[in-house]
């Protein structure tokens, strides 16, 4: 296909998907095609005024009364419910605060308490490093053995000693989307719990936590949920597990009567039991405002748009850069919301693209990650990106010696 033909095809697809074009709800710099919303989501238009109000009115004027008058105290559960809508969790099962690493640590300890006498945590090789480190850390603390299995090997490895299966719903590097319903059911048949990491799926892919009887889940607020740098993470505890949920960090915000200032810990009922300490309120309120970008939108419609975009991007790259090696799956039902390419000069490609206003990212050792946040991208944006990729490769810009030293954040 020529670029003129790609432009025409993109215009047709953009018209067909006009109803889910939410670009107006975001503030993006002109001239940039932002393909890194799976690392740091773009800024929703609703956020700056909300943050200004939180700082100037709530903190600056109303001061400590804001814990009551501006709903600060209830915010972790209120914002949790808003995220719950996007991941298929009925209210009262998601709590916001702390980082994904902390939420994962907490959820794994809770899983150990829910499955006493079982000695294995089963996970996949090559998952996001913090997940691997935290799993190993908790395994040491509770006396579990860590076992690794690829998704294809999982079923055969679900022996009666497995306490919990921990997986990323969408792989951060390849964008592979796992069969959450099937794996969850198989784990349950073996008596194990399932803990899903939703960092690369929440806000992009339907998850269906309640529908598929997931036990526990965690995820971060700053990727497809657009909560901003350092946005707090969230944890999901299915209602049926909440009474037996043991909070490894039994901080005072999770106490049944926090202002009784009692000497002994008594966990609150419901999801509040998973609260820890004072949340980062400004970030939490920014995240709450950011979630307004999804108001009136069903995640299934976001997914339909995302699939059209990633399919178009993949086909266009295959067309324009023959011989491209894709790390992301070809089948729609196996692909999350990104297109990942393998190339020996992946780092240089990402830098040269960024110099042309096309922002993706690099993941070691050889992956160019092009994240497709459907709400604020169009097919036409993707032609711009593919055109840039074509020119970078044609002119050898990816081999510029300037790219031989890597930034701290890639
Ligand atoms: C982004 C990401 C994290 C981030 O963890 P933090 O503790 O919030 O920094 C964790 N796990 C996965 C799979 C991720 O993609």
From ligand 1's centre to the CA of 280, what distance in Å? 17
What is the sign of the dihedral through the CA atoms of 316, 321, 322 and 324?
A: negative
Residue 223 Cα: closest atom of ligand 1:
1
For 339, the enclosing helix (H) or strand (E) is: strand 338-342
Q: In this predicted structure, what is the pLDDT of residue 404?
A: 77
Average confidence (pLDDT) per 10 residues, the chain, 410 residues:
94 98 97 97 98 98 98 98 98 98 98 98 96 98 98 95 98 97 98 98 98 98 98 98 98 97 97 98 98 98 98 96 93 97 94 97 94 98 97 94 83
Burial class, 264, CB count within 10 angstroms (exposed 0-12 / middle 13-18 / buried 19+) = exposed
Q: What are phi and psi of 267, to 5 degrees?
A: -65, 145
Active site residue 128: yes
Residue 127 Cα: closest atom of ligand 1:
13
Measuring CA to CA, which residue among 354, 344, 364, 362 is closest to residue 389?
354
Q: In this predicted structure, what is the pLDDT of residue 46?
A: 98
Tell me: cis bond preceding 229? Omega within 30 of 0 counts: no
Q: What are phi and psi of 197, to 5 degrees?
A: -95, 120
Measured between alpha carbons, how far is 165 from 123 in angstroms, rounded to an integer?
A: 6
As given in the structure block, the two tokens for residue 136 are: 């190993």
What is the sign of the dihedral through the CA atoms of 51, 53, 58 and 60?
A: positive
Residue that the structure tokens 């991208």 belong to = 377
For residue 13, give the DSSP letter: H
Where does 17-143 have alpha helices with state H?
47-52, 66-69, 75-87, 100-114, 129-142
Measured between alpha carbons, how far is 315 from 306 in angstroms, rounded to an integer?
A: 14
Hey, how many other C-beta atoms are within 10 angstroms of the C-beta on 153? 13
Which candidate in 369, 376, 381, 387 is catalytic? 369
Active site residue 369: yes
Q: In this predicted structure, what is the pLDDT of residue 409?
A: 84
* pTM score above 0.85: yes
Q: In this predicted structure, what is the pLDDT of residue 370?
A: 98
For 121, the enclosing helix (H) or strand (E) is: strand 120-123
Spell out the domains of the chain, with CATH numbers in brackets: 3-22+298-403 (3.90.1150.10), 48-294 (3.40.640.10)
Measuring CA to CA, which residue among 138, 194, 137 is closest to residue 168?
194
Where does 236-359 have alpha helices with state H?
281-290, 299-320, 346-355
Question: Which strands, in side-by-side order, build the sheet including 325-326?
Answer: 325-326, 338-342, 367-371, 361-363
User: Would you say 348 and 317 are in contact if contact means Cβ atoms under 8 Å apart?
Assistant: no
Active site residue 197: yes
**Candidate from 40, 96, 101, 200 with most ligand 1 atoms within 8 A of CB, to mutate:** 101
From ligand 1's centre to the CA of 307, what distance in Å? 23
User: Would you say 218 and 168 are in contact if contact means Cβ atoms under 8 Å apart?
Assistant: no
As given in the structure block, the two tokens for residue 356 are: 């042309």
From ligand 1's centre to the CA of 38, what distance in Å? 11
User: Would you say 228 and 280 are in contact if contact means Cβ atoms under 8 Å apart?
Assistant: no
Burial class, 116, CB count within 10 angstroms (exposed 0-12 / middle 13-18 / buried 19+) = exposed
User: Would you say 277 and 253 are in contact if contact means Cβ atoms under 8 Å apart?
Assistant: yes
Q: What are phi and psi of 234, to 5 degrees?
A: -140, 160
Active site residue 7: no
Residue that the structure tokens 């209120």 belong to = 78
For 194, the enclosing helix (H) or strand (E) is: strand 193-197
CA-derived radius of gyration, the chain: 22
Measured between alpha carbons, how far is 235 from 220 in angstroms, rounded to an integer?
A: 9
**SS3 at position 80:** helix
From ligand 1's centre to the CA of 163, what distance in Å? 22
């Amino acid at each position: 296909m020529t670029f003129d033909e790609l432009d025409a095809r993109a215009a047709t697809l953009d018209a067909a998907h006009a109803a889910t074009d939410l670009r107006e709800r975001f503030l993006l710099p002109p001239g940039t095609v932002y393909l890194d919303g799976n690392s740091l989501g773009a800024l929703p238009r609703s956020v700056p005024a909300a943050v200004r109000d939180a700082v100037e009115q709530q903190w600056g004027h109303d001061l400590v009364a804001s814990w009551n008058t501006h709903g600060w105290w209830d915010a972790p559960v209120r914002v949790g419910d808003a995220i719950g809508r996007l991941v298929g969790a009925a209210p009262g099962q998601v709590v916001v605060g702390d980082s994904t690493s902390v939420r994962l640590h907490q959820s794994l300890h809770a899983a150990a308490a829910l499955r006493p006498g079982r000695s294995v945590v089963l996970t996949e090789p090559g998952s996001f490093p913090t997940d691997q480190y935290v799993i190993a850390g908790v395994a040491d603390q509770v006396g579990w053995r860590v076992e690794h299995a690829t998704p294809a090997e999982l079923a055969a490895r679900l022996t009666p000693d497995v306490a919990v299966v921990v997986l990323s719903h969408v792989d951060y590097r390849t964008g592979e989307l796992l069969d959450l319903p099937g794996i969850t059911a198989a784990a349950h048949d073996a008596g194990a719990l399932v803990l899903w990491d939703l960092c690369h799926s929440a806000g992009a892919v339907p998850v269906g936590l309640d529908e598929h009887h997931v036990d526990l889940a965690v995820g971060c607020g700053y990727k497809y949920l657009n909560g901003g740098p350092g946005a707090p993470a969230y944890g999901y505890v299915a209602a049926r597990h909440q009474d037996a949920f043991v909070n490894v960090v039994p901080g005072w915000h999770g106490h049944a009567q926090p202002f009784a200032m009692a000497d002994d810990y008594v966990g609150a009922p419901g999801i509040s039991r998973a609260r820890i300490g004072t949340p980062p309120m400004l970030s939490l309120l920014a995240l709450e405002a950011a979630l307004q970008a999804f108001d009136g939108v069903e995640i299934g419609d976001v997914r339909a748009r995302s699939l059209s975009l990633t399919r178009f991007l993949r086909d266009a790259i295959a067309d324009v850069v023959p011989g491209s090696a894709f790390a992301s799956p070809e089948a729609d039902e196996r692909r999350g919301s990104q297109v990942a390419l393998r190339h020996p000069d992946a780092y240089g490609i990402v830098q040269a693209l960024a110099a042309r206003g096309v922002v993706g990212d690099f993941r070691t050792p050889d992956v160019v990650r092009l994240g497709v946040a459907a709400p604020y991208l169009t097919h036409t944006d993707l032609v711009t990106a593919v055109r840039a990729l074509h020119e970078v490769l044609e002119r050898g810009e990816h081999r510029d010696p300037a790219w031989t030293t890597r930034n701290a954040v890639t």
